Structure 1
């Protein structure tokens, strides 16, 4: 994990990020020309694509959200851990502009070679630097912004458009990472991604899950009951891997609320949601993952109504047959995910509308309101009191 970033070869006087950077540290995204010099003709560094929408962040400063030393395999369907060299997340998500409006909102990966350490949030007004010679512009080995854009999609033999982004190319810039490799958990703490308490809770859950055979149909029932009793007393999360009540093969119910961005909703109780799932924890083809359970019963705002997304496995654009929405503040924490535990990717959670119910502003905690909504409630309360 200590390999020297390539940018040091091109910019020997440039202070670049190193692997001692931690979550919370301030960094600045290098200029467009400096980043282009680290890329091959396909707009990649070590196989990781630099996506066109990332250029707009050049010269700006951000805090490191997490050190992306590991991620998870969402391409092959294995969902195991993967190791990434010199990777970081900056709380910046893909807006889908270069991918015909994909709405998945994936967290962007950044290589250390594209960042430099800084000491504070002072904003830098980036001015593109003009190249000094036509020979440098015409160099056949130099990656250009047009190359980066051109690498985002191609047509296959059948004429279908296939997209290439950081999500679809994940297996090309990561390596397998076994769950037993203890170094990844040490790195999770050392990098500031997880606290000791969070690590302890994750290991406790796994020990209980496998040690009591809580996953089994025959022996797991009393273990799951004891888990839920203890969590109810302590105010914790119920056992997050219960089974749906609808037999596999039967149709699962649907409910269309017509939700739009900004709407307030409450996630239904875990018990109510299980009643909409089959034995595979699926509702009309969408799984209810264990990572969604901690959000049950809580109130959120709708962020996105998902209608189209790029399929990470095929690179094809897919359209949703049944409505799904993304809620603000709900993303995978990888706390109950076994082989990919403590994955840093924070993938957005997707919600069927049948798992949600509308709520009014009056039912929403003030901390969950936007400034506009809070002002509206304050005005209503003033009129009512008068």
Structure 2
């Protein structure tokens, strides 16, 4: 039975023993891992932040959306990376409805009776790491690395049932949904134009909605501000950031996308400096030569990505920011 959850609904995370009973020997339900970072929420009550019925494909390299079933994101429940080598990606964790029960409100959570030896924690900690690769490097397994297995079905933008679900569940309002539909239609038109029309007939040089292009030929510039948590910064205008990107919209390997461009010209506080994250494709821990910046309250809203509810936290090069 599904819980038919909506944004704002209160839920209680089941006890460790109850969740353990839903998992296979890999610590997964429907190929979605229950991660060690989630155990501390057992017995707690939280609200539904988004209904996770779809997600952006950031693993296969093909892009687009994929369909997820019976899952939600809970308010404030982001992965702290403590069981995954200190990864700083801060992903919004997926919670299967089978791990939750619907409640009326924020009453004190019941105590969680911990089983001797905490078998749930042992199981998920064991499965948080894969066998080392041929290079001997440690490999991690988490919800982000296993998303293609947990969400195996592609969701085309023209499946309009997804937009009805966005509105019905409270993930997005009507205007935001119409914007997402328009962006999807426009991007599909641009894709077809690049396939069949000569370049001189392309609209906006064939760019996707949001129109971000790199303008650097050769090595991209860099800059260091040594920003620290709590400092107030302004995100530079799009044209200035484009002047730091190559033709693939990369600055020293770090991408800048249309969703990030929506924040150009706004101010935000530095939340953290980031120097390590897990590569979703391989499970390898990547260490950055130059730390990137995470900004408080700045997430990918999915405005041009079909209302994707994943709310990925973008990384910012310091050359894209300026102190206020």
Q: What is the TM-score when the length of structure 1 is the normalising length?
A: 0.76
Contact 2:139-2:282 within 8 A present in 1 as well: yes
Larger Rg: 1
Does the Cα contact within 8 Å between 1:266 and 1:298 map onto a contact in 2? yes
Report the Cα offset of residue 310 of structure 1.
0.8
1:150 aligns with 2:150: no
Question: Which residue pairs with 1:9 in the alignment?
Answer: none
Q: Does 1:219 align with 2:197?
A: no
Q: 1:304 aligns with which of 261, 268, 272?
A: 272
Equivalent position of 1:358 in the other structure: 323
In 1, distance between residues paired with 2:245 and 2:115?
Answer: 58
Could you tell me how far apart the structure 2 residues matched to 1:30 and 1:64 are?
Answer: 15
Structure 1 position 57 matched with structure 2 position 41: yes
Q: Give the 3-state SS of the residue equivalent to 1:315 in structure 2.
A: coil
Q: Which runs of 5+ in 1 are unaligned?
A: 5-17, 132-136, 225-238, 360-386
- In structure 1, the partner of 2:26 is 42
Range moving further from structure 2, 304-313 or 172-181:
172-181
Report the 3-state secondary structure (helix = DSSP H, G, I; strand = E; otherwise coil) of the residue aligned with 1:28.
Answer: strand
In structure 2, the residue matched to 1:14 is none
SS of residue matched to 2:315? strand
Q: Give the conservation status (yes or no) of the 8 Å contact 2:16–2:112.
A: no
What is the CA deviation profile of residues 234-283 of structure 1, one whole-angstrom value per residue up to 9, with x for unaligned ones? Answer: xxxxx622322212xx1111001111222211000111111111222111
What are the superposed Cα offsets for residues 121-164 of structure 1, whole Å, 9 maximum, x if unpaired?
A: 12315242557xxxxx9xxxx96321111000033353321100
Give me the TM-score of the superposition, normalised by structure 2: 0.90
Cα separation, partners in 2 of 1:176 and 1:130, compared to 1, 3 Å: closer
Whether 2:212 is the aligned partner of 1:242: answer yes
Partner residue in 2 for 1:203: 181
What is the SS of the residue equivalent to 2:214?
coil
**Alpha-carbon distance in structure 2 between the residues aligned to 1:56 and 1:95:** 11
Contact 1:214 1:223 in 2 (8 A): no
Task: Kindly indicate whether residue 177 of structure 2 is the aligned counterpart of residue 177 of structure 1.
Answer: no
**Distance in structure 2 (CA, Å) of the matches to 1:213 and 1:125:** 53
Alignment correspondent of 2:251:
283
Match of 1:272 among 240, 247, 255: 240
Aligned pair partner of 2:230 in 262, 275, 278: 262
Compute the displacement of 1:206 (Å): 3.6
The structure-2 alpha-carbon separation of the partners of 1:270 and 1:75, relative to structure 1 and needing over 3 Å to count, comes to same
Deviation at 1:222, TM superposition (A): 6.7
Deviation (angstroms), 1:317: 0.6
Partner SS, residue 348 of structure 1: coil
Contact 2:89–2:278 (Cα < 8 Å) also in 1? yes
Matched, 1:347 2:315: no
Query: Which protein has the bigger helix share?
Result: 1
Consecutive unaligned residues of structure 2, counting only runs of 5 or more, are none
Q: 1:37 to 1:241 in 2, by over 3 A?
A: same
Structure 1 vs Structure 2 CA RMSD: 2.4
4+ residue runs over 4 A deviation: 208-217, 220-224
Q: Distance in 2 between matches of 1:129 and 1:123?
A: 18
Aligned length: 316
